[in-house]
Amino acid sequence: MEKMSRVTTALSSNAISGRTMFCHLDAPANAISVCRDATQVVVAGRNIFKIYALEEEQFVEKLNLRVGRKPSLNFSCADVMWHQMEENLLATAATNGAVVTWNLGKPSRNKQDQLFTEHKRTVNKVCFHPTEVYMLLSGSQDGFMKCFDLRKKESVSTFSGQSESVRDVQFSMKDYFTFAASFENGNVQLWDIRRPDRYERMFTAHTGPVFCCDWHPDDRGWLATGGRDKMVKVWDMTTNRPKEIYCVQTIASVARIKWRPERKFHLATCSMMVDHNIYVWDVRRPFIPFATFEEHKDVTTGIVWRHQHDPHFLLSGSKDSTLYQHMFKDATRPVDKANPEGLCFGLLGDLAFAAKESLISSDVNRKPYPGGDRRYPIFFFKKPDPTEQFAHVSSALSVFETDLNSNHMDWFVKTAQLYLLSGKPFAELCDHNAKVAQELKRPQVSTTWTMLRIMFSDPANLTATGPNHNLSSKLGTLPLMNSFSMKEMGTESRLERSKGESRPDNTHLEPGTSHISNNNEENEETEGSEGQAEYMFGDAELDDDELYSMEHDNQTVLLSNTVLSLLPLPNRHEAEVTCLTPIESFSLISISQPLYSPHLPGSFFCPIAREMLSYYAEQGDVQMAVSVLIVLGERIRKEIDDLTQEHWYMSYIDLLQRFELWNVSNEVIKLSTCSAITCLNQASTTLHINCSNCKRPMSNKGWICDRCHQCASVCAVCHHVVKGLFVWCQGCSHGGHLEHIMNWLKSSAHCPAGCGHLCEYT
């Protein structure tokens, strides 16, 4: 503490100032380090070893330590450190395994002081003891860490990492004798400097190499580590077993890590692969960097805070041969660009919406969410200095519920369960599905199915398939007529509505469609209901304008539906035509002309069907789109590009699975033709089971447990091995044939095995 106050006074008397600046180096830098009073920085690399003075406006080259005509390999530095107590003392780690110390106080040009060549392979890191002047630690690729006393010619002690390469060594700020070492195999070890024979403790910190570690500058026993697995982890070393307290996921492997001075939760990281930026993280908010420095054009190899008590200056060296001083106030703040609004649908049409307070509070009519006081999750309280905190974001979460009366998603579930997608001739499938839709009071869908049947069945087939309908008696020349007569009721009502569609009132509401009666949130709610309800054009909750725009978008589809159904009734036909715009009547004619040709190929309708599918998908009824896609099969598949199909399938499967309609979703997956979809069924096909007797995992195939040599899955009712559907209670792990258990449970609630457990099956 005494030391700290001394330094702070030194700082205040000689306050650091400067700006964001850079200078070109002659060669890529590998590491940088600053001297204690933050006035000079040393840059070391394979071909560079220089000291720069940090002036107000620029870097000034002070000294080139790389002297001699033919520089030895000892100058090829992997790491450098400036002593924090002794201003003239530097240490470097060379790629050939040498540890070199440099004394700037030497009068000669060559400042090299001591040379230790005890490591066999590259030395990755050197570290001076924070308070002991003559103590130097090195960590090398050969798996050894060595402690040097600079008054002696050779190392004092050697610590063996058991042939695992050492990537970083750091003396603890808290314990005089402790240092941490990180290894390529993912471990971190803590050593006592007095006990070279064995580490104090070891733990696995990362999968893959741990490239760096850093002790928290305040003495709280926190150690931050970064590794190739792209994680930064903060460990509490004071507990018995090192505990991971924070974890930050970055986008590239973490090569260097430095706690930010005077800021308890901040640390800076950089990567040596792929990513050129330097990030400053607030470890409490691991998902978005607190600040980013994006100046470097190549990977950053060294970062250091300029002064150990000044959080505003960061120095960095890079492979792009530049040395930068970054001012914290010039940093990019990614959080400013993040979208603070979030929107999500619930399964039954509820809509959750989170937005910044300021945006929402203007809306006076907002109703608070009834489920507890979760409206103001304030992540960060405002603190005096706004630039040092994450932007004060407090969001309000509103949940809009749909009206309970419009029990809107039932149709989806029912339709999904009742639709037939395969296994019968095409026409029958269509008829069946039309009937299903009809029963669920969805006339447009129903009509669509009927039309599909008409369009894509060739007449010969059609005559053959009719017996279950009333149209079977009247087959032959007028198949269109037949089907229409069956659907007449639905179409009638539908026509009425389309005639009345210019009236924006509520009287024509479809009982089955969802309507939300929360007037305050008209907009959101409309959005919300679109997801789950399928609209007729005549539905009055849309505005006039919207209605028209939509109609024009989908005019062909609409036409093909209404108009085709009208065709056999000439008088109606005329009446309808009069109210159509010229374009529409044109398309009508183009369709109606060839319609009378008895041998119209199915492919003629493909464009119409395609638009119809897109229309349904656009409307949010992806169920219809996918069902038609499957039923039509080859007839339509080539018309729609694979990505769209895949998207539809994915959406539908997702919906089905959210409604827990597993069988239907599986059927859809099976029937789909997209390779991306069918392979969904081939993922995670393994089911791990434990033996019900000895509770050990069953190792492999067969019905006999390896360990206790008994049949594992025996039906508790009939005492036979169950091959097929096996149901068991998760409480007591007894079970048996599905039917047997079901029968058993009718008579008794206890476990059939006699274990006394009150079995529950869900």
Partner 1 sequence: MEESSASDDKPRILLMGLRRSGKSSIQKMSPNETLFLESTNKISKDDISSSSFVNFQIWDFPGQMDFFDPTFDSEMIFKGTGALIFVTDAQDDYVEALGRLHLTVSRAYKVNPDINFEVFIHKVDGLSDDHKIETQRDILQRANDDLADASLERVHLSFYLTSIYDHSIFESFSKVVQKLIPQLPTLENLLNIFISHSGIEKAFLFDVVSKVYITTDSSPVDRQSYELCCDMIDVVIDFSCIYGLTDAGSGCAYDKESLAIIRLNNTTVLYLKEVTKFLALICILREESFERKGR
Do 201 and 189 meet the contact criterion of CB atoms below 8 Å apart?
A: yes
**Which tokens is 483 given?**
């089907």
Q: Report the alpha-carbon distance of residue 409 to residue 407 in Å, rounded.
A: 6
What is the footprint of partner 1 within residues 259-278 (CB under 8 A)? 272-274
Rule CB under 8 A: say whether 208 interacts with partner 1. Answer: yes
Rule CB under 8 A: say whether 209 interacts with partner 1. Answer: yes
Adjacent-strand bridge partners of 352: 344, 399
Q: Three-state SS for 529?
A: helix
Beta carbon nearer to partner 1, 273 or 575: 273
Helix (H) or strand (E) holding 41: strand 40-44
Rule CB under 8 A: say whether 389 interacts with partner 1. Answer: no
For partner 1, the binding residue among 13, 163, 581, 597 (CB under 8 A) is 163
Closest distance of CB 191 from partner 1, Å: 15
How many residues lie near partner 1 (CB under 8 A)? 40
Q: Report the alpha-carbon distance of residue 17 to residue 611 in Å, rounded.
A: 66
Closest distance of CB 225 from partner 1, Å: 12
Q: Three-state SS for 560?
A: helix
**Which tokens is 92 given?**
């470097």
Closest distance of CB 237 from partner 1, Å: 16
Q: Report the alpha-carbon distance of residue 221 to residue 174 in Å, rounded.
A: 7
- The residue with tokens 């910044």 is 356
Distant-in-sequence, close-in-space partners of 521: CB < 8 Å, separation ≥ 6? 365, 366, 400
Closest distance of CB 65 from partner 1, Å: 16
Closest distance of CB 149 from partner 1, Å: 25
For partner 1, the binding residue among 101, 122, 415, 562 (CB under 8 A) is 122
Adjacent-strand bridge partners of 728: 735
Beta carbon nearer to partner 1, 166 or 280: 166
Choose one: 3-11, 121-129, 419-427, 511-519; the region binding partner 1 (CB under 8 A). 121-129
Rule CB under 8 A: say whether 257 interacts with partner 1. Answer: no
Distances (CA, A) of 643 to 34, 352, 673: 55, 29, 12
For partner 1, the binding residue among 50, 66, 83, 206 (CB under 8 A) is 206
For partner 1, the binding residue among 238, 405, 520, 699 (CB under 8 A) is 699
Choose one: 120-128, 391-399, 505-513, 721-729; the region binding partner 1 (CB under 8 A). 120-128
Do 649 and 677 meet the contact criterion of CB atoms below 8 Å apart?
A: yes
- Taking alpha carbons only, the member of 555, 556, 645 closest to residue 608 is 556
Rule CB under 8 A: say whether 317 interacts with partner 1. Answer: no
Quickly list DSSP for 335-363.
HHHS---EEEE-TTS-EEEEEEHHHHHT-
Choose one: 115-123, 521-529, 626-634, 748-756; the region binding partner 1 (CB under 8 A). 115-123
Q: How many helices and strands (H and E) does the chain possess?
A: 20, 33
Closest distance of CB 91 from partner 1, Å: 17
What is the footprint of partner 1 within residues 19-78 (CB under 8 A)? 46-47, 73, 76, 78
Q: Which string of b and e fits 408-431 if b means at least 16 CB within 10 Å?
A: bbebbeebbeebebeeeebbbbbb
Q: Report the alpha-carbon distance of residue 288 to residue 281 in Å, rounded.
A: 8
Q: Per-residue string for binding with partner 1, 164-183, x by CB under 8 A?
A: x--x----------------
Rule CB under 8 A: say whether 189 interacts with partner 1. Answer: no
Pairing of strands 256-259, 243-249: unpaired
Rule CB under 8 A: say whether 211 interacts with partner 1. Answer: yes
Rule CB under 8 A: say whether 240 interacts with partner 1. Answer: no
Beta carbon nearer to partner 1, 247 or 749: 247
For partner 1, the binding residue among 130, 186, 479, 538 (CB under 8 A) is 186
Rule CB under 8 A: say whether 96 interacts with partner 1. Answer: yes
Q: Report the alpha-carbon distance of residue 381 to residue 391 in Å, rounded.
A: 10
Rule CB under 8 A: say whether 141 interacts with partner 1. Answer: yes
Do 238 and 271 meet the contact criterion of CB atoms below 8 Å apart?
A: no
Q: Enumerate binding residues for partner 1 (CB under 8 A).
A: 46-47, 73, 76, 78, 95-97, 120-122, 124, 141-142, 162-164, 167, 184-186, 198, 203-204, 206-209, 211, 228-229, 253, 255, 272-274, 696-697, 699-700
